[in-house]
Amino acid sequence: MLSRPRLSSFLPETAIRPYVFFLSALFVLASLAGIVAPPSVRHGLTDAFRLATEPYTNQSGGGVFLFILANNLIATSLTLLLGVAFGILPVVAVGFNGFLVGVLCREVARGVGYVQTALHVLPHGVFEIPALLLAAAYGLWIGVAALQRVRGHGGLDIRGQLKHALRRYAAVVVPLLVIAAVIETALAVM
């Protein structure tokens, strides 16, 4: 079992928590919007998702793992880094991913029911969604600081914030994405 100091090293520090809570709420609301989206939107997005994931469907376990991990690392690192543009990308990324999760859950649930869908989404969502939320929270944190700086509110150390965010990304987000990729690969191969 992790000791209290060790466990707290994985939790977002106080400055980031409001961003995590805001983005978590956005993710949930966007998921609900995806669930109730019109059928034409759901079908179009589901088809686009199938097209995007098709390249790895016929690969071996190692190929699937690398594809998933690379995609998740690229997406989350860009979400964090491009947050400097006033936090726009992190908000859009979380909203879109939440909407996509809602759409896919609704479409899968039509065939197998909501319980089976939840059992399929939960194993890798437990690690992948928090990783996205943390990366986006750090990106939004940096974006808000950039916006405050542009508006003339103090000499915020954006470079220092970025370095801190990248250290936390490497220490927390990357391990979560590796675990998520292992789980998702195991589910995909089965």
Q: What is the pLDDT of residues 8-61, one digit of tens each?
A: 555 668 889 999 999 999 999 999 999 999 999 999 999 998 888 887 777 777
Distance of alpha carbon 70 from alpha carbon 56, whole angstroms: 12
| Cβ-based neighbours of 174, under 8 Å, separated by 6 or more | 73
Q: Answer whether residue 29 is part of any domain.
A: yes
Structure token pair of residue 79: 């979400």
Number of domains in the chain: 1
Q: Answer whether residue 5 is part of any domain.
A: no
Instruction: Report which of 70, 93, 106 is spatially closest to residue 185, judged by C-alpha positions.
Output: 70
Q: Answer whether residue 61 is part of any domain.
A: yes
Q: What's the confidence (pLDDT) of residue 142?
A: 95
Q: Answer whether residue 48 is part of any domain.
A: yes
Structure token pair of residue 32: 């609900």
Structure token pair of residue 30: 């966007």
Structure token pair of residue 63: 């190929």
Q: Answer whether residue 159 is part of any domain.
A: yes
- For residue range 98-120, what is the model confidence (pLDDT) as tens digits? 999 999 999 989 889 888 888 88
The boundaries of the domain holding residue 146 are: 16-189
Handedness of CA 147, 149, 154, 155 (dihedral sign): positive
Contact 147, 84 (CB under 8 A): no
DSSP state of 13: P
Question: What number is the average pLDDT over the span 135-156?
Answer: 88
